[in-house]
Amino acid sequence: MSVDPILVGLFGNRLHSILAEQQNALVNTAFSAVVRESLDLACAVFDSRGEMIGQSVGGTPGHINAMATGMHHFVAAYPPESLEPGDVLLTNDPWQTAGQINDITVVTPVFRDGRLVAWFASCCHAPDIGGRLVSAEAHEVFEEGLRLPIMKFLNAGVVNADLERLIRANVRTPEETIGDLYAQVTGNEVGAAGLLKLLDEFGLHSLDEVAAEIMNRSEKALRDALRALPDGVYTNEIVTDGFDDEEIVLRVTATVDGDGIHLDFAGSSPQSRRGINVVLNYTRAYASFAVKAAISPEVPHNAGSFRPVRVTAPEGSVLNCLPPAPVASRHLIGHFLPSLLIGALPAAAIAPSADALWMTIWRGPGFMLNVFQTGGMGARADKDGLNTTGFPSGLRSTPTEVIETMAPLVQHTRELRVDSGGAGRRRGGLGQVTTMAARGQDSWSVNGNVDRVRAAASGVDGGESGAAGRFGLHEGDDLPAKSRVTLTPESVVDVTLPGGGGYGPPFERPVTRVLDDVVEGYVSVAAAREVYGVEVRYLGDPGALVRLPGDYAVDEEQTARLRAGK
C-alpha cells in the first residue's frame, strides 16, 4: 500500500519535534549532572515491531545505536499481549543494550484503542550502579554492579516498589539514580502523548506504514552514498594505550561491494581480563555511526540506515567479548572505532581525534561525582579540528560551576592546551588542561578512565600527531589510568587531555592562519616558527596581561627563509 510522500515528510518532521520534547523533559527532570549537563543519554521512537524510526538530536551513538538493536530484546521478552497501558520496562544488561552496567534503558509501550502502536525509549548513564566505581579494575562483570534483566519498572502505572528498594540498597547515589529513572519515564510519557496526538491529527490508526517509508528512505540514501564509493577491500589499524602489560590493537577490513559494506574486525586483540571489553552491540553501534558520518551524515538516523552495514567481530575478541567479561570502561575502546573506520575508507575525511571520552570519578566522605571531559577533534580535509569536542561521543564537558557546586572540589585551572592540536595544513583540535583539588578532605580518590596518554592521535596526509594526554599529580608523578587511586588532602591532580591529529603538511598552512592561531593562543610563537615555518613577532608590552591582535606581526623575510628550508 503506497503512502502519501507529503504525509511521510510531515510526519517525519513532527516526530523530530516530539523527540526533542522527549529529550527536553528527560533532561529538565533529571537528577544527575551526568544527564543534565553532559547529556550522556539517548532518546528514540520505535514502530510496533521495535524498529527505530528516529532519534532526538542529542544522544551518544553508543547509546542510540545500541538501543536500536537492543530494542528487539524487549519486544521478544514482552510481546504485546503481555503488556498494558502504563507498563514501563528496563534493563542494563550490557550484552542486550549499551554494553555497560551503568547504562540503563527504559522502554515504554504506547497503546491506542487497546492496541500497541509504538515504543518510546531512552538510555542514560546512571551516576552509580553499585559494584566497583566505573574503571577497568574488575575481572568479571559481576564485580561491576547491579545487573538488571529486562523487567517491569512500572506495572499498569504502579511502580515496582521492590525493584526500587533493591536499586536504592545497591547504589551509592540512590536519589540521583532513582531520580534519573523517573526522569526517563517522564520523557517517554511526553513522547507518547505527543505521538498519540499526532496520530489523531492525521487520522491514523497505526504509524507502521509511514514509519516503514521513513526507514526505507534512509536506507536508499545510504545505499546511494555507498554506491558512490569505489568497490574494494580497505584496511586500517589503531593501537590504543591498553595497559602496561597488555597492548590493545584494533583492526578492521572494510569491504565495499555495490550498495553495501561489510566491516570485519578480525585481527583485533582478544578480550581483556580488564574492564575495557566491548560487546558486539556496542561495536555495531559505533561502526554504523562511523559509516554514516563519513559518507552521508545528513541521512536521517533510523533502522533503515543500519541495513546496508554488516558488522562482524570474532567471538572472544575485545570487540565481541563473551560473558562474564568485565565491560565497565568499554568506551575507552569503543570510541576509537570511528577513527579506525574513517581511516580505512577511501579519501579519509578526518584525522584521528582524542577519541575516548575522559571520565574521572572523584570520591570522598559524603560525595561522589562523575566528571566528563573532552579532548580535541581531528582535523578535517577542508577544516580545522574542533577544540575540546566530544567526537565521537557527542558528550559535553562538565562545567566548572557544576563541579564545584556538587562536590567539595576546586578546579584551579581550566584552559585550552596550547600546541596540543596536531600541526598541518588543517590543524587538529586542541585538548584542555584542568587541575583539580579538594577542600577539607582527609582523604579522597579518583578513578581516571583515560586513554591516549601514550598513543597520540596520528596525523593524515603529512599532518602531525596531536599531543598525548597526561593524568597525574601536579608537578609530580603520573597516576595509573583506568583504576582507583587514593589521594592525600594536599594532592592536586592534572587532567590534561590530548589533541586531535593534523591534516596535510604544516608548511602548507596559510601564513595568515598561523598568525591567527598564535593570536588566539592555539599555537605558541615557538611552534609557529619550528613546526609551521612562520616567524611571528610580539610587538606589545612584554608584561601585558591582555595581548591584542595588533600586537603581533609576521616577519615575512624570515618566514620565507624558514619555509624554503634555509
Question: What does the alpha-carbon distance between residue 109 and residue 117 come to, in Å, rounded to a whole number?
Answer: 8
Mean pLDDT in residue range 177-201: 98
Mean pLDDT in residue range 391-396: 93
Quick one: 482 and 534 in the same domain?
no
Q: Give the pLDDT confidence score for residue 279 in this predicted structure.
A: 98
Question: What does the alpha-carbon distance between residue 133 and residue 447 come to, in Å, rounded to a whole number?
Answer: 8
Question: What does the alpha-carbon distance between residue 251 and residue 98 come to, in Å, rounded to a whole number?
Answer: 22
Quick one: 411 and 395 in the same domain?
yes
What's the DSSP call for residue 440?
S
Cβ atoms within 10 Å of 95's Cβ, excluding its own:
17
| pLDDT at 53 exceeding the cut of 90 | yes
CA angle 324, 392, 318 (to 5 degrees): 25
Virtual torsion, Cα 111, 113, 114, 118, nearest 10 deg: -20
Quick one: 21 and 69 in the same domain?
yes
HSE (CB half, 13 Å, CA atoms) of 498? 29
DSSP string computed for 220-262? HHHHHHHHTSPPEEEEEEEEEEEETTEEEEEEEEEEEETTEEE
pLDDT tens-digit readout, 244-283:
778 899 999 999 999 999 999 999 999 999 999 999 999 9
Mean pLDDT in residue range 208-221: 96
How many angstroms separate the Cα of 466 from the Cα of each of 351, 378, 394, 460, 479? 10, 8, 20, 11, 21
In a domain, 260, yes or no: no
Answer left, alpha or beta for residue 482, where phi above 0 means left and psi between -120 and 50 means alpha: left
pLDDT above 90 as % of the chain: 94
Handedness of CA 32, 33, 37, 40 (dihedral sign): negative
- Here the cell at position 277 is 571489553
In a domain, 89, yes or no: yes
- Here the cell at position 206 is 497505526
Mean pLDDT in residue range 512-529: 98
Q: Which amino acid is at 198?
A: L
Question: What does the alpha-carbon distance between residue 179 and residue 187 come to, in Å, rounded to a whole number?
Answer: 12
Give me the residue label for grid cell 586483540: 269
Pairing of strands 484-487, 492-496: unpaired
CA angle 387, 390, 394 (to 5 degrees): 135
Quick one: 427 and 491 in the same domain?
yes
In a domain, 300, yes or no: no
In a domain, 372, yes or no: yes
Quick one: 555 and 439 in the same domain?
no
How many angstroms separate the Cα of 11 from the Cα of each of 24, 50, 115, 205, 565? 20, 18, 20, 14, 61
Residues 178, 164 contacting (CB under 8 angstroms): yes
Question: What does the alpha-carbon distance between residue 208 and residue 188 come to, in Å, rounded to a whole number?
Answer: 19
Which band of pLDDT confidence, cut at 50, 70 and 90, is reported for residue 336?
A: very high
Q: Which of 166, 198, 218 is the last residue of a domain?
A: 218
Pairing of strands 432-438, 158-159: unpaired
Quick one: 68 and 205 in the same domain?
yes
Residues 73, 96 contacting (CB under 8 angstroms): yes
Quick one: 500 and 515 in the same domain?
no
Residues 421, 457 contacting (CB under 8 angstroms): no
In a domain, 289, yes or no: no
Burial of 566 (0-12, 13-18, 19+ CB in 10 A): exposed
More confident residue, 59 or 325: 325
Quick one: 408 and 514 in the same domain?
no
Burial 222-258 (b: 16+ CB within 10 A, else e): bbebbeebeeeebebebebbbbeeeebebbbbbebee
Query: pTM for the full model?
Result: 0.95
Quick one: 526 and 498 in the same domain?
no
Q: Which of 460, 480, 506 is the last residue of a domain?
A: 506
Residues 6+ apart with CB under 8 A from 29: 182, 183, 186, 187
Residues 304, 217 contacting (CB under 8 angstroms): yes
Q: Considering its fold, how many domains does the chain have in total?
A: 3
pLDDT tens-digit readout, 113-153:
999 999 999 999 999 999 998 999 999 999 999 999 999 99
Residues 375, 452 contacting (CB under 8 angstroms): yes
Question: What does the alpha-carbon distance between residue 104 and residue 147 come to, in Å, rounded to a whole number?
Answer: 10
| pLDDT at 63 exceeding the cut of 80 | yes
In a domain, 365, yes or no: yes
Mean pLDDT in residue range 228-239: 96
Answer left, alpha or beta for residue 130, where phi above 0 means left and psi between -120 and 50 means alpha: left
In a domain, 340, yes or no: no
Q: Give the pLDDT confidence score for residue 52 in this predicted structure.
A: 98
Quick one: 433 and 495 in the same domain?
yes
Quick one: 204 and 57 in the same domain?
yes
Q: Give the pLDDT confidence score for residue 463 in this predicted structure.
A: 97
Question: What does the alpha-carbon distance between residue 12 and residue 6 come to, in Å, rounded to a whole number?
Answer: 10
Mean pLDDT of the chain: 96
Q: Which domain holds residue 368?
A: 350-506
In a domain, 313, yes or no: no
Pairing of strands 246-257, 232-243: antiparallel
Which band of pLDDT confidence, cut at 50, 70 and 90, is reported for residue 363?
A: very high
pLDDT above 70 as % of the chain: 100
| pLDDT at 476 exceeding the cut of 70 | yes
Quick one: 499 and 529 in the same domain?
no
Integer-rounded Cα radius of gyration of the chain: 24
Question: What does the alpha-carbon distance between residue 349 and residue 166 come to, in Å, rounded to a whole number?
Answer: 48
pLDDT tens-digit readout, 523-543:
999 999 999 999 999 999 999
Question: What does the alpha-carbon distance between residue 288 and residue 266 come to, in Å, rounded to a whole number?
Answer: 17
| pLDDT at 348 exceeding the cut of 90 | no
Q: Give the pLDDT confidence score for residue 1 in this predicted structure.
A: 53
Which band of pLDDT confidence, cut at 50, 70 and 90, is reported for residue 448?
A: very high
Q: Give the pLDDT confidence score for residue 402 in this predicted structure.
A: 95
Q: Give the pLDDT confidence score for residue 267 in this predicted structure.
A: 98
Q: Which of 194, 218, 242 is the last residue of a domain?
A: 218
Q: How far is CA 383 from the centre of its chain?
A: 21
